[in-house]
Amino acid sequence: METEGTLLQKFIETYKKSEVIFVEGTLGGEMYIVYSGKVVLYTQGASGRDKILATLEAGDFFGEMALVDDSPRSATAIAEEDDTKLLALDKTKFTYLLRHQPDFALVVMGKLSQRLREANKAISSE
């Protein structure tokens, strides 16, 4: 009999330090939840220099925008530590969770709202 941990391992992807998870401008079919390790999100600024948007740790999630609006990735994601483990959710799993776990939907909407507020604040302070 499979335990919950063993079952979960089937959906976990492991990355080495500096390994690219996805690249800004590409289409994406998955979102990720950081199971362990760290992930850095960055975008290429107008000056051509990379701008770090966030460093994510266990429990944080990213990449959900690609599943919500089917638009290209708005940032690049790179593993910041060896053995960074990510739980990958494709659109089918994401939609299932939204429909059957309303608290998950509220967490995603809350995080999207927070990120929008932070982006607005950053733009207004430039």
For the chain, list the domains and their CATH numbers: 11-124 (2.60.120.10)
Count the alpha carbons within 13 Å of 47 in the hemisphere toward its beta carbon.
3
What is the enclosing helix (H) or strand (E) of 106? helix 102-124
Give the model's confidence band at 108: pLDDT under 50 very low, under 70 low, under 90 confident, else very high: confident
Give the model's confidence band at 1: pLDDT under 50 very low, under 70 low, under 90 confident, else very high: very low
Distance CA 64, CA 56 (A): 14
Distance CA 79, CA 56 (A): 10
Cβ neighbours around 112 below 10 Å, total:
13
pLDDT tens-digit series, residues 4-27: 555 567 789 999 999 999 999 999
What average pLDDT does this structure show over 23-46? 93
pTM value is 0.83
